[in-house]
Structure 1
Amino acid sequence: MGNYKMAHTMIRVLDLNRSLAFYKEALGFEEVRRRDEPTYEFTLVFLGDGDPNGHQLELTYNYGQVAPYDLGTAYGHLAVVVDDLEASWAAHDAKGYQPTEPKGLSGDGKPRYYFITDPDGYKIEIIRK
Structure 2
Amino acid sequence: MATDPTKYKLNHSMIRVKDPKRSVEFYEFLGMKLINQIKNPDANFDLYFLAYDSPKAVSHGNQWTDREGIVELTHNYGTENDPDYKIANGNTDPRGFGHLAISVDNIQAACQRIEDAGYKFQKKLSDGKMRHIAFVLDPDGYWVEVVPQKPLEQTENSKETDPSTYRMNHTMIRIKDPGVSLNFYKDVMGMQLKRTSESKNGGFNLYFLGYGAPAADSAPDGVSPTADQEGLLELTWNYGTEKDPNFKYHDGNAQPQGFGHICVAVDDLDAACARFEEKKVNWKKRLTDGRMKNIAFVLDPDGYWIEVVQNEKLKTRANW
> Smaller-chain TM-score range?
0.7 to 0.9
Give yes or no for the alignment of 1:39 onto 2:201. Answer: yes
Aligned position for 1:2: 163
Aligned equivalent of 1:101, options 279, 282, 286: 286
Using the TM superposition, give the Cα deviation of residue 64 of structure 1 relative to its aligned residue in structure 2, in angstroms. Answer: 2.2
How far apart in 2 are the matches of 1:71 and 1:116?
13
Cα distance change on mapping 1:115 and 1:71 into 2, 3 Å: closer
Which protein is bigger by CA-based radius of gyration?
Answer: 2
Aligned position for 1:88: 272
Aligned equivalent of 1:12, options 157, 174, 180: 174
How far apart in 1 are the matches of 2:201 and 2:231?
28
Farther off after superposition, 82-91 or 45-54 = 45-54
Aligned position for 2:192: 30
Residue identity matched to 2:295: Y
How far apart in 2 are the matches of 1:39 and 1:50?
32
Using the TM superposition, give the Cα deviation of residue 15 of structure 1 relative to its aligned residue in structure 2, in angstroms. Answer: 0.1
Deviation string for 1:57-88 (max 9, x for gaps)? Answer: 00000012231112342121100100100001
- Whether the 8 Å contact between 2:167 and 2:230 is mirrored in structure 1 is no
Matched residue SS, 2:212: coil
How far apart in 1 are the matches of 2:184 and 2:282?
13
Q: How many equivalent residue pairs?
A: 125
- Whether the 8 Å contact between 2:251 and 2:260 is mirrored in structure 1 is no
How far apart in 1 are the matches of 2:295 and 2:188?
15
How far apart in 1 are the matches of 2:264 and 2:213?
13
Q: How does 1:42-61 map to 2 (within 5 A)?
A: 42-52=204-214, 53-61=229-237
Gapped regions of structure 2 (runs ≥ 5): 1-161, 215-228, 312-320
TM-score normalised over the length of structure 2? 0.37
